[in-house]
Amino acid sequence: MDRPRISRALGAAAGGLLGVAFVPAAVALADTYDIVPDPNSIETVSTYYGLYAALPGLQASPLGYQTFDVDDTTLGTVVGKFEGYESTSSGVFFDGTTEEILVTSDISGTPGTAAGDVPPVGSVLATFMIGDTGFGDIYSALTSTSGVDTVTETLVTPFGDYTTPLVFDAAAIPIAELATLVTQDYGFVPISDNDVAAISGVPPFFVSEPGPQEFATASGTFDAETVKTSDAVGNSTEAILVTSTTGTTGTAAGEVPPVGSTFNIVTFDFPGYQLVYSDLTPATPGGANTITETLVTPYGDLNIPETYDLSALLASDGATVSLGDDYEITPASAQVLSGINGVPPLDGMIQGYQQFDVDNTALGTVVGSFNADVSAALDSYGGIGRTILVTSDLSGTTGTAAGDVPPVGSVFDTLTFGDTGFENIYIDLASTAPGGDVISDTLVTPFGDFTIPTTLDLSAALVGVTFLGL
């Protein structure tokens, strides 16, 4: 089954003001060209950002890749095809729908910026619609071999469409280089290019591009998941999560940072200023993390006391969620690290893949198991959001009844408010029957539990996709 078509649009860059028709089908490339998912292509979801994802990763957003067609709507023909990364978030951000495409390869047709051309590799296309109000934003950054990208933004309103003067180029996201402090104190440098593996954010305000990268120290090498971000005011960041190591591991200068260590380098739009955050996990189990934050300036470096501990999210096995009626889901394997997002120490998120059991707590038995994409987000106030997205069922009876294994596409999202005793638990059990999803939202407090009415259906955006993971 194909994923439902996605409403996206390009602006005037492709040969005239858009023929805006925000139906769930197409991206308007001028008046007579649309971009639609190829009917023979199924989206593969590589990771998932939950309800409480760390910005600039957009909340409740599946990230994946797919093949797209460029259609001539006048002739009813396909003039070209391309592959691209995509992300979609619906019903969370101002009750709006945000969609993005990052073009990764052109398959057929003529690459270019004219009407009927296929968007060149590296181009970024994005739309944001505010519910059913008729208001929205259409953004495109089309790459050019001349070195000058074609960037346009159009505000869509019920009273007409307005092109804005725009300078933010999401297709030329600056790469925040490792600060001198990091190179000197920890002695690691990148030895591979960053391999972009997804896109998220809301151009033209901010954009993020996650992907793997390899680094070297005097004592060995390590693989890492990274995310590079850029915003409209000229700031850029690079967050790093160590996923595997070779050589001598430790927290001393020149040693390889232990697995789970995180870094973030913020490069401000002021020459010579950077903010460097590091959170080194202990070389031996049971030790404390080593956390530092330093403001690098042309006049000297300033050490800032910091307690934000992003890597602590990995100290536990992950989320345990009560299903009621004597059943709960519990982690059954260690987490395989797959990504990082956010701008620690303001906020941050770590993603992975993990296996879970469905336990009968009354009998102490396991009734089934499943694989899942997981994420854990930490804000600067101590709030922790955890997400579990079911990607495959391994054993047990699949269904939405008590004791069943959650169907593929089900979403569990929890938010713990520090040590206050308050927690919000959102559960969306997917169903193949139309309108058959079983959705609940519960606020747990020291004074009792309260049911929160909700119509938010996170699993609806995951119908007809395939999953990359365990």
Report d(CA 399, CA 323) in Å as an integer.
Answer: 13
Long-range contacts from 455-459, C-beta under 8 angstroms, 24+ separation: 456/91, 456/92, 456/426, 456/428, 457/91, 457/428, 458/51, 458/60, 458/411, 458/413, 458/426, 458/428, 459/409, 459/410, 459/411, 459/428, 459/429, 459/430
Q: What is the pLDDT along the chain (470 residues), one digit of tens a residue?
A: 333 332 333 333 333 223 222 223 334 444 577 888 899 999 999 999 988 888 888 888 899 999 999 888 888 889 999 999 999 887 655 567 888 999 999 999 999 888 888 999 999 998 888 877 888 888 888 998 777 888 888 888 889 888 888 778 888 876 555 555 566 666 788 888 778 899 998 888 889 999 999 999 889 999 999 999 998 888 889 999 999 999 999 988 888 999 999 999 998 888 888 999 999 998 777 788 999 999 989 999 999 999 999 998 887 767 788 887 889 999 999 999 999 999 999 999 999 999 999 999 999 999 999 999 999 999 988 899 999 999 999 999 999 988 999 999 999 999 998 888 899 999 999 987 767 889 999 999 999 999 999 888 889 888 889 998 76
CA dihedral 115, 116, 121, 124 (to 10 degrees): 50
User: To 5 degrees, how large is the angle CA 448–CA 378–CA 208?
Assistant: 135
**Amino acid, single-letter form, for residue 201:** G
Size of the chain in residues: 470
Show Cβ contacts of residue 158 under 8 Å, excluding neighbours closer than 6 positions. Answer: 133, 134, 135
> By the 8 A CB rule, do 27 and 119 touch?
no
Pull the structure tokens for residue 267.
Answer: 């490069």
CA 462 to chain centre: 15
Pull the structure tokens for residue 198.
Answer: 């997804």
For the beta carbon of residue 73, count every other beta carbon within 10 angstroms. 17
Report d(CA 104, CA 117) in Å as an integer.
Answer: 15
Strand partners, 40: none
Going by C-alpha positions, the residue among 109, 138, 145, 108 that lies closest to residue 124 is 138
pLDDT for residue 453: 93
Report d(CA 210, CA 229) in Å as an integer.
Answer: 9
Half-sphere exposure of 248 (CA within 13 A, CB side): 10
Half-sphere exposure of 450 (CA within 13 A, CB side): 9
Report d(CA 31, CA 280) in Å as an integer.
Answer: 53
Q: What is the pTM of this model?
A: 0.88
Report d(CA 318, CA 52) in Å as an integer.
Answer: 15
3-state secondary structure the chain: CCCCCCCCCCCHHHCCCCCCCCCCCCEEECCCEEEEECCCCCCEEEEEECCCCCCCCCCCEEEEEEEEEEEECCCCEEEEEEEEEEEEEECCHHHEEEEEEEEEEEEECCECCCCCCECCCCCEEEEEEECCCCCEEEEEEECCCCCCCEEEEEEEECCEEEEECCCCCHHHCCCCCCCHHHHHHHCCEECCCCCCCCCEEECCCEEEEEEEEEEEECCEEEEEEEEEEEECCCCEEEEEEEEEEEECECCCCCCECCCCCEEEEEECCCCCCEEEEEEECCCCCCCCCEEEEEEEECCEEEECCCCCCHHHHHCCCCCCEEEECCEEEEECCCCEEEEEEECCCCEEEEEEEEEEEEEECCCCEEEEEEEEEEEEEEECCCEEEEEEEEEEEEECCECCCCCCECCCCCEEEEEEECCCCCEEEEEEECCCCCCCCEEEEEEEECCEEEECCCCCCHHHHHCCCEECCC
Report d(CA 341, CA 245) in Å as an integer.
Answer: 20
